[in-house]
Every structure is written in C-alpha cells, then in structure tokens.
Amino acid sequence: MTEGVPDNYRALRVHVTGEAVDRAVEQVPWSTLTAPEHAGARVSVRVEYSSLNYKDALSASGNRGVTRDYPHTPGIDAAGRVVASADPRFEPGAQVLVTGFDLGMNTPGGFGQYVNVPGEWLVPLPGGLSTRSAMALGTAGLTAAIALERLAFAGATSDLGPLVVTGASGGVGSLAVALAAAAGYEVIASTGKPQAAPLLERLGAARTVGRSPLNEPSERPLLRGQYAGAIDTVGGDTLVNLVKSTVVGGAVAACGLVGGADLSLTVHPFILRGVALLGVDSQHLPMETRVELWRSLAQSDTVKRALEVPGLVTETTLDGLEEHVGRILAGEVMGRVIVSL
C-alpha cells in the first residue's frame, strides 16, 4: 500500500470479449492506475465527482476508436483531493480537477474512486467552484467557453445577429446557451427534444426550434444569411447549413459530430461572406489557457445561476451510472449528468 492510497478501490470497469461488452462496478487493485510512461511526476487524486460525456459512453460501449485496451475505467472528467504526489506543485489535501488529455480514454478515468495522473494534467480548483460544480461544468462547460472565446476573437459579435446553438439540450449545448445569452447574444436553441424548451429558456434562450429546419440537405452554395454564427455540436448537414446561413463576417464553432463527420461545402461562404469555420478542441488545450478559462468560469455569476437552474444537473452514483450511459447514447439525456463518488 502506498502512503495515502488504498490497496483496492471501487470503479466502473468495462470488459470486452469479442463482440460482448460487460460493465460492472468492481473492487480493482491500485496497480490498474497506469498513466503514459512519457508523462511527468504522478499525482494520486481521491475523486469526489466526475461527469458523464458522450465520449465516456462510447468508451463504456467498447468503442476502440476511443479506448484501445480493455478492461478499462472510463471518465474523461474528475475532481477531488490530492492524496499522494510526486509533483511539488500539488500537496496532499489540495483540491484539483482534470479534464481531457488521455484521462478516461486509455488512462483509467473518473468513474473510479481514484485517478493517478501526471501533474501536468491537473488544474488547481479555482476559488468559487466546488468539486461538484466543477464537474457540473466539466469538459462540456470548458468546450462551450472555448467556443464563445473563439467566436468573439473571430468577430462574430452579437450585433451581427442571432447565435444558433445546436444540440442545445445536451451538455455542451445547454451550457453554451447560458454562456452565450450572458454574453449578449440572442440565442436560438436548436434541439430535437421539444420538452427541453422550458429548460433552455430558463438558461437564456430567446427561442427554441426543432432540429429539422437545420439538417435538411441543400445543393445551394449559399443560403440566406441570418445568423451571426453558431456553436454546433451536431456536424453533418446541420453544420453545412449553418455555415451557408451565416452573415458576412460571422463564424461557426464546431465541436461535435453526432450528425455525421462529412462536410459537403463549397468555398462560397468563406470567400464571398468571409465566414470563419472554427474547430473547438478542449482535450489538447494549453494549460495556461485552460487555467484562465476555469478561473473565468469560477468567477462567473452567470455560471453560478445556470448551475442552479432546475433540470440542468442530474446527480447519480457509480452504481446508478449504467442507466445514464444507455440514455446518453440514445440521445435522451438533457443537461449534465454528474457522478458522486
């Protein structure tokens, strides 16, 4: 037993045998907590909260595009307290969070009571956030914040017109609605769940629309310019139509592909309207920017209010996680699911 850590701990383990995938909460030995060999000094963290993301559900379903080797513990987000550290920047007892990098993909993740990760992956928990509220944001909140920052930098400001958020009832989408509305945008929330409209309006959406108008294929190289831009979590034909419908000088931030990975576009929106298509990636975000964005989220009154909106956050435990994995894969989850450990 290492000082400050147990011999065994509880974790959701995913086993893949041929085509069969089995998930179960198990007692697993500390030796399962591996991290990339090239990484720096390790820090052991007692996880207090994690969160469920679409990527976690893919890993939990045996998707080898996300996770190469099984058995495995998913969970790309984790927040808790340091219990042992070889990195002088993190003393035992310090509160930290980690999102992205390789956590939960090929490194055992936040669906276990402990993670053992390089210190370079850790963000000190900023004042104003608890470990619970940090995971209510998680990768989804960080992604939404990056998207808004990139849109502003590209000049897609609120005076150009409304901003569309697609997949608005999901984790990234719901938080993007709140952050964009607070930034002064008239937010159009696009969702396939009509029952999500009250939640989205409480978060700041000016109106909600169905997904169908945005995902109808069109052969036209340009559509009527009507949006300052969009935060798109869908991809496919939806992303194509958003780019075609963005006004001169607007921009679209793309951060999802549940609607497809192909993009059938001409250059017309880019050279005739100067539209910018911005990729959003939170996994490899530089640490300096990562820390700055987390500090900004922690200090935001908008974030605090959003996290208190009824229906945005659903809390479960490791033992209750199975139900939510199936629901997020079926597109039935609204808002954020956090996991108490």
CA distance 254 to 147: 8
CA distance 182 to 184: 5
Place of tokens 């549940």: 258
Tens of pLDDT, residues 188-214:
999 999 999 999 999 999 999 999 889
Q: What is the CATH number for 12?
A: 3.90.180.10
Q: Is residue 293 part of a domain?
A: no
Q: Is residue 336 part of a domain?
A: yes
Q: Exposed, middle or buried, 34 (CB in 10 Å: 0-12/13-18/19+)? A: exposed
Quick one: pLDDT at residue 2? Answer: 46
Q: Exposed, middle or buried, 322 (CB in 10 Å: 0-12/13-18/19+)? A: middle
- Domain span at residue 159? 141-279
Q: Name which of 94-98, 120-124, 254-258 the model is least confident about.
A: 254-258
Task: Tell me: do 147 and 270 sit in the same domain.
Answer: yes
1 — pLDDT class (breaks 50, 70, 90): very low
| Residue 71: pLDDT over 60 | yes
Quick one: pLDDT at residue 38? Answer: 58
- Integer distance in angstroms from the first to the last C-alpha of the chain? 21
Quick one: pLDDT at residue 44? Answer: 96
Task: Tell me: do 153 and 121 sit in the same domain.
Answer: no
Mean pLDDT calculated for residue range 254-258:
91
Q: Is residue 1 part of a domain?
A: no
| Percent of the chain residues past pLDDT 90, beyond the cut | 91
Q: What is the CATH number for 171?
A: 3.40.50.720
Domain boundary among 259, 279, 299: 279
Tens of pLDDT, residues 207-247:
999 998 898 999 999 999 999 999 999 999 999 999 999 99
Task: Tell me: do 172 and 202 sit in the same domain.
Answer: yes
| Percent of the chain residues past pLDDT 70, beyond the cut | 97
**Mean pLDDT in the chain?**
95
Burial letters 227-263, b for 16+ CB under 10 A, else e? bbbbbbbbbbbbbbbbbbbbbebbbbbbbbbebeeee
Task: Tell me: do 252 and 322 sit in the same domain.
Answer: no
Provide CB contacts within 8 A for 219, sequence distance 6+: none
Give phi and psi for 325, each to the nearest 5: -60, -45
Mean pLDDT calculated for residue range 71-94:
97
Nearest-10 crossing angle of helices 171-182, 131-154? 60
Contact predicate 228/185, CB 8 Å:
yes
Quick one: pLDDT at residue 34? Answer: 73
Q: Is residue 285 part of a domain?
A: no
Task: Tell me: do 86 and 173 sit in the same domain.
Answer: no
Mean pLDDT calculated for residue range 104-128:
96
Mean pLDDT calculated for residue range 265-271:
97
Task: Tell me: do 265 and 336 sit in the same domain.
Answer: no
331 — pLDDT class (breaks 50, 70, 90): confident
| Residue 271: pLDDT over 90 | yes
37 — pLDDT class (breaks 50, 70, 90): low
Tens of pLDDT, residues 87-111:
999 999 999 999 999 999 999 999 9
Quick one: pLDDT at residue 312? Answer: 96
| Residue 39: pLDDT over 90 | no
Quick one: pLDDT at residue 40? Answer: 74
Tens of pLDDT, residues 48-66:
999 999 999 999 999 999 9
Of 112, 110, 111, 135, nearest to 125 by C-alpha is 135
Q: Is residue 121 part of a domain?
A: yes
Domain boundary among 279, 300, 331: 279
CA distance 15 to 312: 31
Mean pLDDT calculated for residue range 102-124:
96
Task: Tell me: do 153 and 259 sit in the same domain.
Answer: yes
Task: Tell me: do 186 and 262 sit in the same domain.
Answer: yes
| Residue 288: pLDDT over 50 | yes
Q: Is residue 111 part of a domain?
A: yes
Provide CB contacts within 8 A for 292, sequence distance 6+: none
Quick one: pLDDT at residue 258? Answer: 85
20 — pLDDT class (breaks 50, 70, 90): very high
Task: Tell me: do 13 and 111 sit in the same domain.
Answer: yes
The total number of structural domains in the chain stands at: 2
Task: Tell me: do 153 and 246 sit in the same domain.
Answer: yes
- Both tokens of 131, joined, read 């470990």
Total-model pTM = 0.94
Task: Tell me: do 19 and 89 sit in the same domain.
Answer: yes
Contact predicate 33/63, CB 8 Å:
no
Domain boundary among 279, 301, 331: 279
Q: Is residue 3 part of a domain?
A: no
Task: Tell me: do 13 and 83 sit in the same domain.
Answer: yes
Q: Is residue 202 part of a domain?
A: yes
Rg of the chain taking only CA atoms, in angstroms: 20
